[in-house]
Amino acid sequence: MDPQARIMVVCGKGGVGKTTLSLAFGLKHASEGKRVVIVSSAPLDELAISVSLEGLGRRCPVAARNLFVVHLDPRELLTEVVKKHFPVPLLARTILNSSLFANLIAIAPGLKEFYFLARLQQLAERRRTAAGADGPDYDYLIWDAPASGHFLSTLRAARAFETFLSGPLAAAGAELDRFFSNSANMQILAVTPLEEMAIAETIEMTQALQGDFGLQCTALILNLVSPLFSASEQEMTRLKTASEESAAFRFALARGRSERARGAEVAAAIPAPQVTIPRIRHWDGDLDLLDQIGQWLTLPEHRAGEKPQPA
């Protein structure tokens, strides 16, 4: 297989900050001159509402030239398939407007996910076309994955095509399954805050990735942690003394101890290096926020096929 951009999958429970972290990671490397494409799980107009890249060209022209954000809409991908196989516009429109096509998209299990994975693989394997260029088109391909349940069902779609169908679609499903089950192609960056439900879902997701696809977590990103999570025991003792006279300190101490206990819990369940992202208190616009987060996003060294080691 030709060299390709490794897919870095930012995954976890819905609402844990995957999109913000994906953009921060992409901005960090695009600013260093690396070509980065982020495949968002949300339409771009929705993404722009939550995190804005407005002013990127003025603030960081290098990143603006190298950072690309795309949304792969499965319905649009299927529409392209119809237009490709039915090049007569009238015939293609008739098929696309038919109730049969609409029902097929709505009820065919795994069809949209199958074509999404196929396009994602194409992006990862796409070669540079500039004169004299060699290698993959992108240095980093970051998949801002949907919530963990949908993410796992998307990966399972290729295997379902291989198992339950025959002919060319089964062969295509087998190839997709091999690609997305190969640790040389995939880096799994699991994201969770130190909250009970998010941790439980993250543990379940990483166990499913290991059991179903043989994919291990490359790094565990602990998002929005308080300063007390990494405080020394001496600092915790001083806070305990202060808490005797202050309800606010007592609350902070209880929160800190809870985070530390949950951090130990998730470390025992997911033996992967941890990357801690603190709760940012002050920022001047979204680009400044992404830049601050990016300063904390230093991932462990990982070579193709190598099993990640605990921190």
Q: How far is C-alpha 244 from the chain's CA centre?
A: 43
- Rounded to whole angstroms, the Cα distance separating 234 from 213 reads 43
Residues 224-229, mean pLDDT to the nearest whole number: 90
Whether residue 218 contacts residue 272, with contact meaning beta carbons closer than 8 Å, is answered with yes
DSSP for the chain, written as a single string: ----PPEEEEEESTTSSHHHHHHHHHHHHHTTT--EEEEESS-HHHHHHHS--TTHHHH-HHHHHHEEEEE--HHHHHHHHHHHH--SHHHHHHHHTSHHHHHHHHHSTTHHHHHHHHHHHHHHHPBP-STT--SBS-SEEEEEEEEHHHHHHHHHHHHHHHHH--THHHHHHHHHHHHHT-TTTEEEEEEE-S-HHHHHHHHHHHHHHHHHH-PPEEEEEEEEE-GGGG--HHHHHHHHHHHTT-HHHHHHHHHHHHHHHHHHHHHHHS-S-EEEEE-----SSHHHHHHHHHHH--PPP--TTPPP---
Contact assessment for residue 111 and residue 78, using Cβ atoms and an 8 Å cutoff: yes
Asked whether the beta carbons of 9 and 191 are under 8 A apart, the reply is no
Q: Percent of the chain having pLDDT more than 90?
A: 52
pLDDT value, residue 214? 95
pLDDT tens digit string along 22-74? 999 999 999 999 999 999 877 777 777 678 898 999 999 999 999 999 998 87
Residue corresponding to tokens 């076309």: 129
Burial readout 267-285 (b: 16 or more C-beta within 10 A, e: otherwise)? beebebbbbebbeeeeeee
Sequence ranges of the domains in the chain = 7-227+271-296
246-291 pLDDT, tens digit per residue, is 787 788 888 888 999 999 999 999 999 999 999 999 999 999 999 9
d(C-alpha 228, C-alpha 231), whole Å: 5
pLDDT of residue 1: 38
pLDDT over threshold 80, residue 140: yes
| Structure-derived torsion over alpha carbons of residues 35, 191, 296, 290, reported in degrees to the nearest 10 | 60
* Average model confidence (pLDDT) across the chain: 85
Report pLDDT for 79: 73
Q: Residues 212-228: what's their mean pLDDT?
A: 94
pLDDT confidence bin for 301, thresholds 50/70/90: low
Instruction: For residues 133-139, give the mean pLDDT.
Output: 82
Rounded distance, CA 298 to CA 42, Å? 25
Confidence band of 306 (pLDDT split at 50, 70, 90): very low
CATH of 7-227+271-296, one of 1.10.10.10, 3.40.50.12780, 3.30.1490.20, 3.40.50.300: 3.40.50.300
